[in-house]
Each structure stands twice: as C-alpha cells, then as structure tokens.
C-alpha cells in the first residue's frame, strides 16, 4: 500500500471516530470489549490486546496511525512488550514508513524471539525464512509478512497453550492461528449470528 493510501485510511478512521457521538460504538470497540467481538479474527485481536499489558488509554489514541491495524497491531504490541518501549513509540516508528525488520533492529528485539519454540523447519509458509535465519541469524532480513505471521504464531501459542512449532506447521496445512485459538478458547460469539470470519487479511482501518 502506498504512503498516500495509508494516510487516507488513517484520516478516514480518525474522522469516523470523531464523528460518533459520546458513548457510541467505535470501529475498534471489539479490541477492548469481548461482547463486541463478532468473529475469530476480532477475538484473536481482543485476546492479544488483553494479554499485552497495555490499556485502552494507551492503545486507542494512537491506533489510527496504523493503516492496517488488524495485521500490524499484534506486531506493535509484541515489539513494545519485548523491547520495553512504549506502544506509542513503536507505532510512531511504523507510521514513519519503517519496515518491521528495521523496527526490530531499532528497538533491539532479536529475531530469536520470533522463533522461540520453533526448533526445526516448520515447512511453508515459514520454512524458507526459518532456514535463512538458522544460517545467518544476525544478517537475515525478514519481510513484513513473515514477521506478522510469526508474531501471530507466538501470541497464539501463548493464548491457546499450543506449541509454537505446531501452530507454525499448521499454517501450511490451512489452519489459521485465530481459528485455532478460538477452537481452544471457545467462541463466546457463537450462536449470536456471527461466524468464524477468518478470511479477513490485512483489512484497512476504515
């Protein structure tokens, strides 16, 4: 996505939230209120936020600066937690257009944290990146997509109590991390007219 499109998405989310009356639901209420969750992706993000150690007052004001918050929010939470930086600081780096690999380097978070519990090749989609990392752990540069996926695996493992390697390997078998977490934790939104809804990938902040 271009920087111009990202800026437009950010401005749109800010304007939508600002236009809502006091007490009205916002597009991201599900991140903080379990009863607003409607699908597996939202449930995963809600649990990740609750597990992060950061409160709504720290997350919500800067969230509009993440143009793809559904995919970038877990990474920002992960980096902030692993580095000891504030959530605002990590989001600021990302909003400047920095890649996640550059942010990992800037904040001193080693790639080892992404591969914790993955002691052998998990196969696609992370096997190739795992091989590069094993051969050159200090010189490899991971793509944003790999980092997003590996962060999701690490958070999912902690949330669901599933071995990290199993989650990474399962991705190649078609098992989405949010769905696995929901299977293990139970779906509080089941039977309320909501489905799994795991086909959302990199949804824009609109």
Domain boundaries, the chain: 3-185
| Contact (CB, 8 A) for 79 and 86 | no
Q: Is the pTM of this model over 0.85?
A: no
Predicted pLDDT of residue 197: 55
Instruction: Indicate if the alpha-carbon torsion angle 64, 42, 158, 148 is positive or negative.
Output: negative
Which range (11-25, 78-92, 124-138, 146-160) has the least confidence?
11-25
pLDDT-based confidence at residue 195 (cuts at 50, 70, 90): low
Question: Is residue 188 predicted with pLDDT exceeding 50?
Answer: yes
Mean local confidence (pLDDT), 118-140: 93
% of residues, the chain, pLDDT over 70: 80
């Amino acid at each position: 996505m271009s920087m111009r499109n990202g800026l437009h998405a950010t401005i749109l989310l800010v304007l939508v939230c600002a236009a809502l009356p006091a007490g009205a639901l916002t597009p991201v209420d599900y991140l903080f209120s379990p009863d607003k969750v409607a699908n597996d992706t939202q449930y995963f993000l809600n649990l990740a936020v609750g597990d992060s150690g950061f409160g709504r007052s720290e997350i919500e004001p800067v969230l509009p600066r993440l143009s793809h918050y559904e995919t970038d929010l877990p990474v920002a939470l992960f980096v902030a937690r692993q580095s000891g930086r504030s959530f605002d600081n990590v989001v600021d780096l990302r909003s400047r257009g920095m890649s996640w690999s550059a942010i990992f380097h800037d904040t001193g978070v080693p790639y080892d944290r992404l591969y914790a519990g993955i002691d052998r090749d998990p196969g696609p989609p992370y096997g190739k990146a795992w091989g590069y990392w094993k051969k050159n752990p200090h010189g490899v540069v991971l793509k944003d997509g790999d980092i997003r996926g590996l962060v999701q695996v690490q958070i999912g493992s902690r949330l669901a109590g599933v071995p990290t390697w199993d989650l990474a390997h399962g991705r190649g078998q078609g098992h989405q991390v949010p769905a696995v977490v929901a299977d293990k934790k139970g779906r509080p939104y089941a039977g309320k007219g909501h489905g799994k809804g795991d086909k959302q990938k990199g949804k824009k902040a609109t």
